[in-house]
């Protein structure tokens, strides 16, 4: 059972452990059921768990748990015949695998790879037989684990992507994991946040027989192959690969086809785009995919495209087809820049031909946020960002695209799936969080064609946080619009403290700046925003210029010039709330994470209106970040390389305004953050200390860019509130001393 919740209170720190999150809905082929992942917390272990659940799409019965315990189960996929549910799980090998491991390795079949003595198991493919019942059966035993997979149409085989180290690479990895060997770096992209220092091990494709566990490799060579998908007739497998031979220096991901036996390969796109998430049409005539038409420009909105499979070009030997199809590969920045260091550093591959694709969502001028999903031979469903909200869109291969759901502006689509004529949407609302809803696909089609569309009726399938939310008073969200100083209309969300009444006087304002910058704040449940509002703060979330979902021009305007426009939009939102009488001009505060941390650093250097600020996992000096973070291609495209453009790097760095900072600043960082490295926080901290500005540096041990441990997530909220209180913020209502009951998060996950 769930412990009683004090009725009417705002959210408490202890509530964090009680939260459950739904993700990865997967609808069965007949549309009658949906499997999903439910994530919760293990308080005693300071960790998370992920279990699989299933529920009928007609809402006639409560959800049923399929897996349980202290596991991380993810990526559920139904077999096309509907009998099996495959998923990834990093759980100990089953007994049969352990006993036959050596034999299988000697015979070069099945789970052929022996473990290297690591303590933690790697994600493998497991299969539940939903007709016969029983525990899941392990299909793979790859020593480096499995990254992703796809069923064959006959439900007899699975194609998967997995790292495939050579014998020499195995010895290197073994030495690293035993802390006996040094890191030996060869790659340009030598590190990545959350993954650490990168090695040279390639990811290849394999096909496993579901019945026998026999495995055969279908790709090889010096490149990675990912995102495999069987064609509906089983004749091809489509996948994504950068085969320029210099993948660390460009984003030219192409689509390729290979036979399930690996003996025939074709090229589907031709080196001029960044392609991702390919999906065959039911008749195999088309492949739909997401595409960036300007691969090296991260401000270009991702679109939906299709290409005819008949246009694929035959490849003689896929393993050796590397660096072919481009007149220039690029990668090396010339020493002499001739007066334009940015143009000089844009050394990209030059393709020999253009891909004959068909763009389907260009007229929407909205970013595609999901992989495509075919509803029939002509219609594709995707999610798109639309004015600070994620919505479903339908596109026809002839080029017509419509946004169809939801029309309610105070919710957002997080994820979705559709099969058998039924769509299931993970819909997120500020007051209730993310829940599953089901509605017929025909209803979505009808809405798209309606002259006066309204949201179709959807059946709610889950209520995972009902008992917690019933005893809390959540913050209510409002959308606001205002003009910035350039005359542009800017949109924002405001979380209102429970019981807020502007007639009784203004409230202290906490500006929370979103990351990205190519992202956007949506009307969705965020525990930290709800907690801040529960402490009595008016919480402002501005979708500043650079945010996606407002069109490509709105996003691209900040390219190569971070800072002034975003800051103007944020401060215009502050002015609007002050003028409206909602925000107390004497009690203004600001915080932000990642890009939000960067903009917090910029804000305190360009205004003294905030009484205190908190910058989380941000950046300070962009030149110092080059090579120490994992985003060198981004910097190179925006600013060139720092030794050729030191003035440009300094001009838009928050560090350029260091002498103007007087605002008390709390700085947080992850010890192993390689997106916004720790040394950026240290540089900022030391500069403020030397100038006598009140500051404090908090380093979260073993954390990367995101905070993953529940106790640290709670510690973060408490520290922010105490810092703001110290400089005139709300008196911190300390509930951390209250004992958090064990059933808030236990070693045995609770039911929903």
Nearest CA to 301 among 373, 383, 385?
Answer: 385
Kindly report each contact of residues 406-409 with a partner whose C-beta sits within 8 Å and lies 24 or more positions away, as own/partner: 406/455, 407/447, 407/453, 407/454, 407/455, 408/455, 409/479, 409/523
Candidate from 94-103, 179-188, 698-707 with smallest mean pLDDT: 94-103
Distance, in Å, from the CA atom of 409 to the CA atom of 428, rounded to the nearest integer, reads: 11
365-378: per-residue pLDDT in tens? Answer: 999 999 999 999 99
- HSE, CB side, 13 Å, CA atoms: give it for residue 623: 13
Region 388-415: what's the mean pLDDT?
96
Q: What confidence category does residue 736 fall into, taking pLDDT thresholds of 50, 70 and 90?
A: low
Whether residue 114 is predicted with pLDDT greater than 80 in this model: the reply is no
Kindly report the three-state secondary structure assignment for every residue of 383-424: EEECCCCEEEEEEECCCCEEEEECCCCCCEEEEEEEECCEEE
Residue 498 tokens read as 């429970």
Give the model's pLDDT for residue 634.
97
Q: Which residues, at least 6 apart from 620, have a Cβ–Cβ distance to it below 8 Å?
A: 601, 653, 654, 655, 680, 681, 683, 684, 687
Nearest CA to 13 among 751, 739, 747, 742?
Answer: 739
Give the model's pLDDT for residue 735.
67
Q: Which residue has the higher pLDDT, 7 or 209?
A: 209
Give the model's pLDDT for residue 466.
94
Nearest CA to 362 among 277, 301, 316?
Answer: 301
Residue 709 tokens read as 């441990």
**Tokens 């005893």 correspond to what residue?**
471
Candidate from 86-100, 270-284, 387-401 with smallest mean pLDDT: 86-100
How buried is 694 (Cβ within 10 angstroms: 0-12 exposed, 13-18 middle, 19+ buried)? middle
Whether residue 32 is predicted with pLDDT greater than 60 in this model: the reply is yes
Hey, CA dihedral for 647, 653, 655, 656, is it positive or negative?
positive
Decide: helix, strand or coil at residue 215: strand
Residues 23 and 747: beta-carbon distance below 8 Å? no
Instruction: Kindly report the number of other CB atoms within 10 A of residue 479's CB atom.
Output: 15
Mean of pLDDT over the chain: 93
The separation between the first and the last C-alpha atoms of the chain, rounded to the nearest angstrom, is: 9
Q: b/e per residue, 194-204, with b = 16+ CB within 10 A?
A: eeeebbebbbb
Residues 181 and 175: beta-carbon distance below 8 Å? yes
**pTM score of the predicted model:** 0.94
Give the model's pLDDT for residue 106.
53
Bridge partners, 203 (sequence order): 163
Whether residue 748 is predicted with pLDDT greater than 50 in this model: the reply is no
Distance, in Å, from the CA atom of 494 to the CA atom of 540, rounded to the nearest integer, reads: 5
Whether residue 107 is predicted with pLDDT greater than 60 in this model: the reply is no
Whether residue 118 is predicted with pLDDT greater than 90 in this model: the reply is no
- φ and ψ at 320, to 5 degrees? -105, 0
Domains and CATH numbers, the chain: 474-726 (3.40.50.1820)
Q: Which residue has the higher pLDDT, 590 or 736?
A: 590
Decide: helix, strand or coil at residue 239: strand
How buried is 542 (Cβ within 10 angstroms: 0-12 exposed, 13-18 middle, 19+ buried)? buried
DSSP code at position 11: P
Give the model's pLDDT for residue 104.
53
Give the model's pLDDT for residue 560.
96
Whether residue 198 is predicted with pLDDT greater than 50 in this model: the reply is yes
Whether residue 116 is predicted with pLDDT greater than 70 in this model: the reply is no
Residues 529 and 539: beta-carbon distance below 8 Å? yes
Whether residue 181 is predicted with pLDDT greater than 90 in this model: the reply is no
Distance, in Å, from the CA atom of 734 to the CA atom of 219, rounded to the nearest integer, reads: 57
Decide: helix, strand or coil at residue 500: coil
Q: What confidence category does residue 69 fall into, taking pLDDT thresholds of 50, 70 and 90?
A: confident
Region 224-241: what's the mean pLDDT?
98
Region 684-692: what's the mean pLDDT?
98
Q: What confidence category does residue 119 fall into, taking pLDDT thresholds of 50, 70 and 90?
A: low
Candidate from 3-17, 175-189, 600-614, 664-678 with smallest mean pLDDT: 3-17
Residues in the chain, total: 752
Q: For residue 684, give the H/E element and its range.
A: helix 678-691
Give the model's pLDDT for residue 472.
95
The torsion of the CA quartet 104, 110, 112, 115, rounded to 10 degrees, works out to -110
Region 574-603: what's the mean pLDDT?
98
Q: Where are the alpha helices (DSSP H) in 127-166?
A: none
Region 395-410: what's the mean pLDDT?
95
320-348: per-residue pLDDT in tens? Answer: 999 999 999 999 999 987 889 999 999 99
Distance, in Å, from the CA atom of 188 to the CA atom of 318, rounded to the nearest integer, reads: 24
Q: What confidence category does residue 8 fall into, taking pLDDT thresholds of 50, 70 and 90?
A: confident
**Tokens 């992202």 correspond to what residue?**
519
Give the model's pLDDT for residue 34.
98
Distance, in Å, from the CA atom of 148 to the CA atom of 138, rounded to the nearest integer, reads: 15
Decide: helix, strand or coil at residue 516: coil
504-554: per-residue pLDDT in tens? Answer: 999 999 999 999 999 999 999 999 999 999 999 999 999 999 999 999 999
Residue 174 tokens read as 């073994």
DSSP code at position 296: T
């Amino acid at each position: 059972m769930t412990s009683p919740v004090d009725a009417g209170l705002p959210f408490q720190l202890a509530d964090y452990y009680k939260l459950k999150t739904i993700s990865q809905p997967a609808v069965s082929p007949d549309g009658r059921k949906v499997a999903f992942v439910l994530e919760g917390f293990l308080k005693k272990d300071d960790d998370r768990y992920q279990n699989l659940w299933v529920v009928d799409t007609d809402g006639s019965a409560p959800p049923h748990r399929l897996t349980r315990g202290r596991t991380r189960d993810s990526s559920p996929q139904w077999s096309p015949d509907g009998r099996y549910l495959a998923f990834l799980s990093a759980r100990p090998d089953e007994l049969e695998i352990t006993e036959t491991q050596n034999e299988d390795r000697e015979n070069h079949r099945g789970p052929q790879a022996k473990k290297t003595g690591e303590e933690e198991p790697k994600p493998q493919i497991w299969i539940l037989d939903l007709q016969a019942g029983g525990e899941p059966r392990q299909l793979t035993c790859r020593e480096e684990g499995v990254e992703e997979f796809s069923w064959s149409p006959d439900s007899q085989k699975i194609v998967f992507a997995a790292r495939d180290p050579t014998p020499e690479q195995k010895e290197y990895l073994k030495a690293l994991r035993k802390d006996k060997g040094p890191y030996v770096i060869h790659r340009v992209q030598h590190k990545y946040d959350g993954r650490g220092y990168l090695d040279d091990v390639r990811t290849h494709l394999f096909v496993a027989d579901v019945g026998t566990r026999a495995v055969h490799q279908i790709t090889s060579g010096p490149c990675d192959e990912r995102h495999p998908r069987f064609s509906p007739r089983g004749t091809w497998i489509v996948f994504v690969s950068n085969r320029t031979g210099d993948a660390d220096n460009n984003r030219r991901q192409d689509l390729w086809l290979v036979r399930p036996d690996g003996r025939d390969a074709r090229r589907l796109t031709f080196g001029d785009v960044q392609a991702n998430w390919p999906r065959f049409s039911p008749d195999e005539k088309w492949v739909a995919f997401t595409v960036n038409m300007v691969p090296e420009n991260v401000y270009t909105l991702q679109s939906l495209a299709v290409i005819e499979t008949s246009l694929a070009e035959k490849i003689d030997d896929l393993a050796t087809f590397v660096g072919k199809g481009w007149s220039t590969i690029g990668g090396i920045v010339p020493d002499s820049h001739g007066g334009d260091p940015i143009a000089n550093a844009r050394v990209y591959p030059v393709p020999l031909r253009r891909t004959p694709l068909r763009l389907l969502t260009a007229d929407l001028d909205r970013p595609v946020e999901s992989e495509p999903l075919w509803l029939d031979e002509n219609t594709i469903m995707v999610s798109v960002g639309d004015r600070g909200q994620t919505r479903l869109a339908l596109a026809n291969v002839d080029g017509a695209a419509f946004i169809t759901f939801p029309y309610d502006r105070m919710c957002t689509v997080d994820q979705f799936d559709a099969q058998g004529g039924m769509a299931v949407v993970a819909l997120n609302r500020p007051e209730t969080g993310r829940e599953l809803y089901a509605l017929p696909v025909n209803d979505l089609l009808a809405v798209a064609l309606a002259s006066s569309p309204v949201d179709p009726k959807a059946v709610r399938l889950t209520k995972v946080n009902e008992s917690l939310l019933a005893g809390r008073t959540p913050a209510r969200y409002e959308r606001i619009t205002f003009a910035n100083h350039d005359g542009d209309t800017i949109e924002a969300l405001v979380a209102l403290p429970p019981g807020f009444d502007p007639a009784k006087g203004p409230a202290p304002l906490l500006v929370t700046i979103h990351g990205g910058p190519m992202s956007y704040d949506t009307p969705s449940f965020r525990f930290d925003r709800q907690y801040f509002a529960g402490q009595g703060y008016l919480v402002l979330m501005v979708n500043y210029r650079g945010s996606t979902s407002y069109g490509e021009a709105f996003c691209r305007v900040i390219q190569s010039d971070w800072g002034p426009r975003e800051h103007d939009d944020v401060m215009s939102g502050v002015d609007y709330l002050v003028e409206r009488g909602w925000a107390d001009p004497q009690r203004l505060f600001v915080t932000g994470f990642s890009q939000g941390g960067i903009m917090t650093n910029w804000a305190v250097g360009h205004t003294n209106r905030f009484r205190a600020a908190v910058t989380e996992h941000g950046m300070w000096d962009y030149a110092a970040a080059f090579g120490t973070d994992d985003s060198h291609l981004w910097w190179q495209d925006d600013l060139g390389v720092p030794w050729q453009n030191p003035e440009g790097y300094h001009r838009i760095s928050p560090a350029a305004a260091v002498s103007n900072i007087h605002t008390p600043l709390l700085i947080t960082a992850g010890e192993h953050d390689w997106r916004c490295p720790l040394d950026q926080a240290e540089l900022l901290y030391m500069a403020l200390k030397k100038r006598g500005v009140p500051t404090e540096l908090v380093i979260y041990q073993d954390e990367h860019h995101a905070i993953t441990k529940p106790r640290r997530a709670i510690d973060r909220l408490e520290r922010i509130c105490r810092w703001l209180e110290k400089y005139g913020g709300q008196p911190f209502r300390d509930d951390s001393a209250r004992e958090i009951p064990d059933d808030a998060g236990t070693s045995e996950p609770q039911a929903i």
